[in-house]
Structure 1
Amino acid sequence: MRPALPRDKPLRRVAAVSAALLVLLATACTPKPPGPDPNVPDVHIAAVGDMNPDGNSDPETPSGRNGTLIAKLVEKNEIDAFMGLGDFQYSTAHCDDYVNYWLPVWGGTKPKLYWVSAPNHDWEPGRNEDLAKFMDGQCPGSPEKSAINQERGFIPNGEPYSKDFGNWHFAFLSSALWRYDQEAASAATKWLDKDLGDAQKAGKHLAVVYHEPYFTSDTEGHGRADEQKPWIDVMWKYRVRLTLSGSQHNYERSCPVNNADKCVDDGMTAFQVSTGGIDLRPFTSKPKYIAKRFSDTRGFLRLTLHGDGSFDWEFVPTTGTSTDTGTRSAK
């Protein structure tokens, strides 16, 4: 005869099953934190800065070729946004310059244009301050508004703003603030901290657009914009995925880099795309964080941003043969 089971063993089994059910119920009832939905459609972007030389309205110039091709992408609805990275019209641009020169070769990009103003070709207080008016359709002869102005109304040259594209959140900053108004630059730093923090809590992947680059090689014309380090520290704090800038008159892409210039898995991929049409400059230094660069080709950058945080890039050459293509995974 088998020995009798202890009386409390069935009770233990019931208790164990009940505990497991409670864990399952608690898991099911706990709300999941907001996060990106990989099923959200891809976002397609074109980007370039340093666009139109003095007095140019010829569509066959390097500037004209870039403007024409990007305008066709806008017309065919093949991109969701054109990021204008500053220095739209050289050398000191006023309303007449934008209307008579930039508009004939780049005007077709305006319906999907999101812009930042740069020092000093776009904006220098007391010298030339018309870019904000032009983008809002206030210059005589050009009533068309840029995409962001259609959405938000008038935006002053130095005012930061942000915009969501699918699962991606873009912050737009005018690096001119560091040159002209330190107090406003500090205020923009606080704004960026809150803006990126809120977007991160909402589960968005983060990107920042600004004209003068921090992660860059030196040229005879420009070096690193060291004064922008407070912005870079905030970007690193929230693990910004990519940045877009111009200014150097060439093309560069960094490794995923942190705020201490180290290549790290969760760093920022910094694109510097100032190949819109102005004369190109050679490099005079080579930082270790620069993964790809060239200064012999004009063109523009195309990005495809996926809902899971991964993205693809392709530099489209329009004058010259250099290019750059690749993918960054979601991890």
Structure 2
Amino acid sequence: MRILYATAAALLAGSAAGCTSPPEVRIAAVGDMNGHKNYAPDSPSGRNGAAITQLVENNEIDAFLGLGDFQYSTAYCEDYVKYWERLWGGTKPKLYWVSAQNHDWEPDRNEDLDNFMNGQCPGSSAKAAVNQERGFIRNGEPYSKDFGNWHFAFLSSALWRYDPGRARELTAWLDKDLAAAKAAGKHLAVVHHEPYFTSNTDEHERAAEHKPWIDVMWKHRVRLTLSGSQHNYERSCPVNNADECVSDGMTAFQVSTGGMGLRSFLSSPPYIEKRFNDTHGFLRLTLRHDGSFEWIFVPTSGLSADSGTRSAP
């Protein structure tokens, strides 16, 4: 059955003088997307890919953030083209991506994600939105992007496994990048695959090695973070770098419900406000000029959901 999704709210009416409010930024995000050799449209992955593609084609979102682990299990050019592309290829015109360790990228083994996103894999010449804008982006290379009055930094968690020295160097890059954006009056967000604010599963605990990045995020009062990896959904309270719920903390979304088998929770961190592991779907965010935002988890296979708002700082 075709699922129809409501469009984002229209822009607010202007004043009597004819002025309009600054535009909202509409984003969809999810990670951990497609299973080994899967190209079934009615699979959880296929349903998610079709739903987000519909949003792209209808211009109902401004960006799709791919939170890593695009194609399982060990993905090469042929796998992206034969499987991921068939279910998710329609998202590429608005896709901004980060590479995850192992499934997306492992040096000297599978290193094709960056080629695929730049349209260089045989059988697929389509480029992701960020590659259309910037050209080739190497696996592990950081970048940042402004969406309206919001500034997003994109970081590859894989560096902490493959090149910890480079990951530590990126802490200085992140500090400088966020400082400049904040000085320009932007509201801040960070995207990385491995979550720091998360419950344990039988596969992963929190990415404790990310703490230097988290400290920098807290220093500059990042408003929200997006990650994946855990094969379930979680949302934190606004949290600081000491795991405390505080009014000016980061709202951490962990959205790894793209299509892979879902995992149980093995711990209960006090900073997690909402979580479930029985539903596939994706997150939609509406980001406003004043730093306030709304979120809604859109279920595509299952019944659990989450929605809410956070007011301006």
TM-score range, shorter chain: over 0.9
* Separation (CA, whole Å) in 1 of partners of 2:161 and 2:172: 18
- Structure 2 match to 1:141: 123
Question: Which letter does structure 2 place at the counterpart of 1:193?
Answer: D
Q: Does 1:274 align with 2:249?
A: no
* Separation (CA, whole Å) in 1 of partners of 2:21 and 2:115: 38
Deviations 1:264-284 (A, max 9, x none): 000000000000000000000
- Structure 2 match to 1:184: 166
- Structure 2 match to 1:98: 80
> Runs of 4 or more off by more than 6 Å in structure 1?
none
* Separation (CA, whole Å) in 2 of partners of 1:323 and 1:208: 23
* Separation (CA, whole Å) in 2 of partners of 1:127 and 1:279: 24
Deviation (angstroms), 1:186: 1.3
Deviation (angstroms), 1:91: 0.3
Question: Which letter does structure 1 place at the counterpart of 2:172?
Answer: K
* Separation (CA, whole Å) in 1 of partners of 2:262 and 2:211: 26
Total equivalences in the alignment: 294
- Structure 1 match to 2:94: 112
Q: Does 1:259 align with 2:236?
A: no
Percent identical pairs in the alignment equals 75
Higher helix share: 1
Deviations 1:114-137 (A, max 9, x none): 000001100000110000000000
* Separation (CA, whole Å) in 2 of partners of 1:264 and 1:39: 29
Q: Does 1:223 align with 2:215?
A: no
Q: Does 1:49 align with 2:31?
A: yes
- Structure 1 match to 2:187: 205
Deviations 1:215-264 (A, max 9, x none): 00000010000000000000000000000000000000000000000000
- Structure 1 match to 2:219: 237
Question: Which letter does structure 2 place at the counterpart of 1:321?
Answer: L
* Separation (CA, whole Å) in 2 of partners of 1:39 and 1:211: 33
* Separation (CA, whole Å) in 2 of partners of 1:183 and 1:269: 28
SS at match of 1:239: coil
Deviation (angstroms), 1:183: 1.5
Gapped runs of 5+ residues in structure 2?
A: 1-19
SS at match of 2:239: coil
* Separation (CA, whole Å) in 2 of partners of 1:327 and 1:186: 33
* Separation (CA, whole Å) in 2 of partners of 1:325 and 1:224: 24
1:300 to 265, 282, 288: 282
* Separation (CA, whole Å) in 1 of partners of 2:55 and 2:250: 27
* Separation (CA, whole Å) in 2 of partners of 1:312 and 1:107: 27
Deviations 1:165-189 (A, max 9, x none): 0000000000000000011101111
Q: Does 1:79 align with 2:34?
A: no
Q: Does 1:195 align with 2:177?
A: yes
Gapped runs of 5+ residues in structure 1?
A: 1-37
* Separation (CA, whole Å) in 1 of partners of 2:164 and 2:303: 41
* Separation (CA, whole Å) in 1 of partners of 2:71 and 2:229: 13
SS at match of 1:256: strand
Q: Does 1:323 align with 2:305?
A: yes
Deviations 1:191-237 (A, max 9, x none): 10000000000000000000000000000010000000000000000
SS at match of 2:130: helix
- Structure 2 match to 1:132: 114
Give the alignment's TM-score, normalised by structure 2.
0.93
Deviation (angstroms), 1:40: 1.8
* Separation (CA, whole Å) in 1 of partners of 2:40 and 2:177: 40
Q: Does 1:311 align with 2:299?
A: no
* Separation (CA, whole Å) in 2 of partners of 1:133 and 1:124: 14
Question: Which letter does structure 2 place at the counterpart of 1:259?
Answer: N
* Separation (CA, whole Å) in 2 of partners of 1:220 and 1:201: 41
* Separation (CA, whole Å) in 2 of partners of 1:297 and 1:265: 29
* Separation (CA, whole Å) in 1 of partners of 2:107 and 2:138: 12
Deviation (angstroms), 1:39: 3.1
Q: Does 1:123 align with 2:105?
A: yes
* Separation (CA, whole Å) in 1 of partners of 2:124 and 2:169: 32
- Structure 1 match to 2:44: 62
